Amino acid sequence: MQVDDRSENTGSDGVSFVDYSTYNTVVVGDMRRTMGAAVIDYGKRPFDAVLGWTFFAGRIIEIDYDRKLLHVHDRLPDLHGYTRANVRWIDNTPAIEVLLREGGSTLAAWLFVDTGSNGAIDLGHAYSSRHRLQEVFTRTIGTSQFSGSAGRKIRAVDARIASVDVGGLRLEQPKVSFTIDEDGSNADGTLGSETLRNFNILLDTRTGQLHLRPNGNARALPN
Mean pLDDT to the nearest integer, 13-25? 80
| Residue 54 placed within a domain | no
Give 155-181 pLDDT, tens digit per residue. Answer: 899 999 999 999 888 999 999 999 988
pTM of this prediction exceeds 0.95: no
pLDDT band at 13 (very low <50, low <70, confident <90, very high): low
| Domain assignment of residue 38, yes or no | no
8 Å CB contact between 212 and 85: yes
Instruction: Assign residue 168 the CATH number of its domain.
Output: 2.40.70.10
Kindly state whether residue 27 falls inside one of the protein's structural domains: no
Q: What is the mean pLDDT of residues 186-190?
A: 92
Q: What is the pLDDT of residue 36?
A: 87
Q: For 122-162, what is each residue's pLDDT tens digit?
A: 999 999 999 999 999 999 999 987 765 556 678 899 999 99
Domain housing 186: 84-196
pLDDT for 69 beyond 70: yes
What percent of the chain shows pLDDT beyond 70?
A: 91
Domain contains 34 = no
Is residue 165 situated within a structural domain? yes
Q: Is the pLDDT of residue 220 over 60?
A: no
6 within domain boundaries:
no
**What secondary structure does DSSP assign to the chain, as a single string?**
----EEEEEEETTEEEEEEEEEEEEEEETTEEEEEEEEE---TT-S-S----GGGGTTSEEEEETTTTEEEEESS----TT-EE--EEEETTEEEEEEEEEETTEEEEEEEEE-TT---SEEE-HHHHHHTTHHHH---EEEEEEE--TT---EEEEEEE-SEEEETTEEEES-EEEEESS--S--S-EEE-HHHHTTEEEEEETTT--EEEEE-TT---EE-
Residue 203 lies in a domain: no
Backbone angles phi, psi at 126, to 5 degrees: -60, -45
Contact (CB, 8 A) for 210 and 203:
yes
- Give the span between the Cα atoms of 120 and 73, in whole angstroms: 27
- What domain count does the chain have? 1
Rounded Cα distance between 57 and 2, Å, is 24
Q: Is residue 220 part of a domain?
A: no
- CA 161 – CA 137 distance, rounded (Å): 7
